[in-house]
Structure formats: C-alpha cells, structure tokens
Amino acid sequence: MSNEAKRNKVIPVALTIAGSDSSGGAGIAADLKTFSIMGVHGTLAITSVTAQNTYEVTGIYDISPLIVRKQIEAIYNDIGIDAAKTGMLSNADIVNEVANTLKSYDFPLVIDPVMISKSGSTLLKEDAIKVLIDKLIPRATVITPNVPEAEKITNIKISNLDDAREAAKIIVEKYGAKAAIIKGGHMMGDFSIDVLYYNGQYKEYKEKRILTNTDHGTGCSFSAAIAANLAKGFDVFESVKIAKIMITQAISYGLPIGKGHGPVNPNAYMEINYHKYLTYLEMKKALSLMKENEELISKLIPEISTNIAMALPKFYTRDLQDIIAVPGRIRNFGNKLIFENEPEFGASSHVARALLKYMEFYPDYRSAANIAYDEKIKKVVEKLGYTSSYYDRKYEPIDVKETEGGSIPWGITYAINISKKPVDFIFDLGDFGKEPGSFIFGKNATEVIKKMIEVSKLI
C-alpha cells in the first residue's frame, strides 16, 4: 500500500477473491454483505462468473488468471488491503496465479477452500486441489474447510471431534497454515462444533445445531466475517468467535426464498440490534405520552395492573425475548401511573403472549396493551368506532386451561376467528377467579396509547 493510501485510511478494507453467485446468496455477494455489516469496506477480485440459483448451477465462466491478478493489484496499489479471503477459485491456473500474487503481500488471508456448491456442483477442479495444498494453504492465516473439504485436503476420515482436531493439526503442522478451523456443520449431534487449531492450542466454538433449509452461503459469510475482523485488528481467536456468533444468527434468520436452499442472512447480525433500538425509542415515546395523560389513563388500569408491549418486526420476532415491555407492569396510585423500571425485552408474559399470537395472523400489528373491562368500556369502544372481538373462557378446552400460559393464545385465536379481520380491541370476559380485561392492539406503541387515551376521555 502506498504512503498516501495509509494516510487516507478511514475504514478497514477487506478483499474477497471469489466467484459470483447470480442468486446473491453465496460468493462475492455474501462476502460483500458480510464485510459491510462487520464495519469494513469490501473490495473484490472476481475469479469466476456462475449462473446459479438456490437449487442448481447452470453455468460457470472462469475469468482469466491475469485479470484476477490485476484486480488484486489494482485494489492494493490504490486503496490498500487490511485482510483478504478466497472463495471459489475454480481451476489450477487461477489458484496458482492467486498464490503467486499473494506472496508479494503480508496482509492476513482467510482461505475458504470452496470445492462443492450447496446444490452439489463442482466449484474446484481436481487438479486445482493439489495446487491449493502446495501453494496457497501455506499462505493462509486461517483456513475454514467443512468436513468433506478437510477430508479431501488431509486424506483422513472425519467422523467426530477427535478426527476434526487431528485434521486441523495436520493442515497447520504439515501444510503450513497458521490456523485451521474444521467446521462442524456436517457432523452429527445436537450442537454444531467448530474446532480451531492455532499456536499449538485447540479452541472449540459450540452452538445449538439449527435444522434449516436456509443455509446457502454459510461458508462464504463465515470466512468473510473472520477476514473482516482480522482487518479490524482482532486476533484469530476473537475473529473466529465473532464470526461464529454472526453466522449462527445468519443461519437462524435465513431467507426462505427460492425452491432450494435459501440464503443465510448476515444482515440479521446488524438488523436485530437496529430494530431493538428503534423499538426501544418507540416504547419510550409511548410511555411519555402515557405519563402526560396519566390522570385519564388511570381510570383504565385493572387490578392486575397494565403493561404495554411492542415486538420487533415479525421476521425477527420468535418469542417473548423479542418483545419489549415494562418490568413489573404499570400501576395506578392516586390517579398517578407508577413505572418502576425502564422498558426491557422479555419483561412481559401476559401482554406479550397475546401480541405474539395476534402477530401470527396480522404481523403488521406489533404492539399491545391491557386495560380493564366492563360494559361501559365496551360501549365507549363501540361509540368511538373501534373494531372489537371477544373470547369467553367458558368455551376454553380443559387441556388448554391446564396448560401453563395456554389461555391467552387460545383466547386471541378464538376472538380473531370470530372477527376474521384485524381488530383494535379484544375483550376477555373473565372466568371464576380470573379478572375480565381488554387488550388493545396497534401497529406501534404510540398508536396503542392514543387509542387508550381516546377511550379514557369518554369514561
């Protein structure tokens, strides 16, 4: 890198040397998305253009090795490179050219030895594997083979963690990589365990195995995340640790598109926190509005107290931990509302369970609150023109009554089946020992509080 490039560096730069995937799920598309969400500027050297989708590769066109080299040199001579990764290299000539070119540079290099596509197509020709082993692996800071790739490189059968440890050690001590991580996705068990060997030490990265069909681009995004973190100055252990967290989320929130293996979603690593922040701000805004109108709203607080909840967008809402609410609920004391705690995710069970079930039918309705119920409240709701439905617990099946937390989801389903459309209010008519109540629903927390205020003005 030139002195001028060093002086002008405002963001770490990572380079991907890989093939393109027309479906956007793997290859340079996955790498650049991952670089971006990891906070580095992504650059690229395309090695091959593929025609593929989620279930097949229909064409491969390899780029001239000379052009591959010139792409690398162009980036380095102007922008600079803080770390790089390789993906699909396709043939022996490209592998050889990349290896020879990278000898001139000392930036960290992550090798994802892409050999077979998710759909089963060959992405690295047989004669290229020997060149990869002899010339490129010795240049690797980290190499990230899955089990079939590690078996191909080491010529040993990998059936368990001990085999994976042996393979990782061979790749480092025999073939010259600084670090090798054998990914555990192809091994059996409830957990996916990646085994890293580096500086004479083993480190295991363990996550609950995710059974999904949205795993296209897993290896690309994982290796790109490692490269991005190396570019930011993290060591190998920390880079792999962060990459493992990212890829677990990316797989868990993969995109169910196409007819085959949908792509992983590296954006989840950034988007979940982004949406949590926006949801928190919306909740704070709604609570301020609630406090400004506390004398009015205090008329609606039931004996069990009130809560208001708001969920992340439906795609990222799985359970109660994805819904923000007020810990300890909101109580009425002398016509004043008592908020004892800041809103937190996972703080509600009662209202959040109602919201979770409602969102299964109408995902745009991301907020709910509970208030009291009586005939006067019901008449005011009707007078204001709000839509409503109800559920009567006398129709609740015995097995639902006996299931912890089962009554509210059953009731919301019952009410929606009656209404056959989104409603503003659902009335719980109560039962022996169960206080009647009302749920208010809206697309955001402020909308819910505004409905609450309108009702309270007429009570």
What's the pLDDT score for residue 7? Answer: 45
Given a contact cutoff of 8 angstroms between Cβ atoms, the answer to whether 416 and 361 are in contact is yes
Closest among 396, 386, 456 to 426, alpha carbons compared = 386
pTM comes to: 0.90
The rounded distance, in Å, linking the Cα atoms of 28 and 43 is: 9
What's the pLDDT score for residue 6? Answer: 53
Closest among 120, 153, 152, 157 to 136, alpha carbons compared = 153
35: CB partners within 8 A, 6+ apart = 14, 16, 41, 42, 224, 227, 228
Distances (CA, A) of 381 to 227, 262, 292, 369, 394: 57, 45, 22, 15, 24
The rounded distance, in Å, linking the Cα atoms of 448 and 311 is: 13
Domains (range + CATH), the chain? 3-266 (3.40.1190.20), 276-458 (3.40.225.10)
Tens of each residue's pLDDT in the chain, 459 residues:
544 455 457 899 999 999 999 999 999 999 999 999 999 999 999 999 999 999 998 999 999 999 999 999 999 999 999 999 999 998 999 999 999 999 999 999 999 998 875 556 566 778 889 999 999 999 999 999 999 899 999 999 999 999 999 999 999 999 999 999 999 876 767 788 999 999 999 999 988 888 889 999 999 999 999 999 999 999 999 999 999 999 999 999 999 999 999 999 999 999 999 999 999 999 999 999 999 999 999 999 999 999 999 999 999 999 999 999 999 999 998 889 998 889 999 999 999 999 999 999 999 999 999 999 999 999 999 999 999 999 998 888 888 877 877 899 999 999 999 999 999 999 999 877 678 999 999 999 999 999 999 999 998
